[in-house]
Amino acid sequence: MPEIRPTVAQKDIICAEIAARPTAMVVFGASGDLARRKLLVSLFEVFKRGLLNERFYLLGCGRKELSDEQFRQVAEQAIQEESGDSSAKAIAPFINKLYYISGDYSDASFYESIKIKLAEYDKKHKVDGAVVFYLAVPPFLYATIVKRLCSAGLSSRSEPDSKRFRLVVEKPFGFSLQSAVELNNKIHGCFDESQIYRIDHYLGKETVQNILMFRFANIIYEPLWNRNYIDSVQVTISEKIGVEHRASYYDKAGALRDIFQNHMLQMLTLVAMEPPISFEADHIRDEKVKFLRSIRPFNVDQLDNFIVRGQYGPGSINGEKVIGYREEPGVNPESRTETFVAAKVFIDNWRWKGVPFYLRTGKRLAGKNTEIAITFKQVPHSMFISAGLDDIPSNILVLQIQPEEGIWLCFQAKRPGSKICMGTLNMNFNYRSVFGIDMPEAYERLLLDCMIGDQTLFTRQDGVEAAWGLLTPVLEAWQNDDAAPYEYPAGSSSFPAADSLIETDGRRWRELLGT
């Protein structure tokens, strides 16, 4: 049985953390940026919290030739740069569990060597538990690695080995509905769905996880969470940065694939899905898939009325001039890749019929901000109309994901002064100020869940395909459209075509944070 470690600070705080069982983790792409900056550092943080089993080890796999000692030096340097604890004494017990092997991902003999190493290290570390294969590699390598794992006998779908082998796949999972289906079919030839962990790091963020707690553990909100009381919902993921070192990938993907298809839709499902019958992985994912299937398909003949794309041009960020997207190194000078997507979607179900959901994501915008803003309907009748208060502002509930994680509620209250003196007040909850700690890195939560076998925060095959089914017609329409994306200056908040999606309904985008 997995070990459950409760941490209870006071009687109304209930915490229970499950520690990882004996686990071997095999990371393909271990010499790359993702492994160095995120995976190794996050695993060290899990180790510091006492949740990494003593019988754990990690085998890094990559094309770059490194010895075990060189790989450990890379890990130590990354931890010292990213973690608060930089002492060699504190890091040593963790990095001594790290090993490395190099080879060609398409070479069958490489996987035989991996198999031999696993047998050797399993015996050394007394691991008789899960083997987690983590694909921290470009998407075009997924099918090749899975096929080779299968040929080497490292992916059995049959009992009892099916419980031992697990596969973690980074986004993007496919580039269209067809490619996602094809990739699913290839992986399912070797791994059962119960063995597959499609990772979306946004789902590991504390405030994103808190959406479920906030909605379904508080009776005061769930009765109001419907078309009768909610006017509209805005979901925003804005970034100040450009494409940086990701130009070669991003110019083929664009904002719709890179952010909208996964991060954006996943947050939307959590805020709007129906209550699951329990806090079990498949019960939660069942409701997420049902919600995705209830999103009204985009009418490709009237696309600009519901979804528009933009691309940043030259502008300024924090007073400094920056180049446009097409001038970025590695970007096609004639690229029509979108760096901004704004959409208006409707949900064809009982709860949300007629409520517009406004979604936007973009790069090189005025502020870094990820939030979900729920605007409630105005009061049906103002009793203060005789005092000129006939248009009372709506209540707004904001779930803030970044740059600061928290929740705030905007409501009306009397201010000191005359008998009728009303104003808008904000009630704020900030994770950092309340708990006095920095928020854990999202990968810490997700890596631990992979090791304990909890798929709650990972997307399922039908969910991936439902999301691509919604967006693939849009991608195809844009590909066949000769028109370029609307250009917006770097450092702006939006552009007229995106504004019109919401302003024609008598609403406005919320102001971006200036961080």
Show the DSSP H helices in 295-356 as ranges. Answer: none
Annotated catalytic residue 381: no
Phi–psi pair at 418, nearest 5 degrees: -65, 170
Is the distance from CB of 76 to CB of 95 less than 8 angstroms? yes
Tokens 């990701």 belong to: 246
Q: Up-side HSE of residue 18: CA atoms within 13 Å toward CB?
A: 15
Q: How many helices (H) and strands (E) does the chain have?
A: 16, 19
Query: 77, exposed or middle or buried, with CB in 10 Å at 0-12, 13-18, 19+?
Result: middle
Quick check: bond before 172 cis, omega within 30?
Answer: yes
Residue of 125, 188, 245, 263 marked catalytic? 263
Helix 142-151 with 108-125: angle, nearest 10 deg: 70
DSSP string, 239-265: -S---GGGHHHHHHH-HIIIIIIIIIH
Strands 130-135 and 23-28: parallel
Nearest-angstrom CA–CA distance, 372 and 185? 34
Is the distance from CB of 168 to CB of 450 less than 8 angstroms? yes
Token pair for residue 120? 């050797």
Residue 390: name the closest of 405, 374, 379 by CA.
Answer: 379
Question: In 3-state terms, what secondary structure has residue 321?
Answer: strand
Is the distance from CB of 466 to CB of 293 less than 8 angstroms? yes
β partners of residue 423: 413
CA quadruple 205, 405, 264, 396: dihedral, nearest 10: 140
Nearest-angstrom CA–CA distance, 106 and 208? 37
Token pair for residue 228? 């009768």
* Catalytically annotated residues: 263
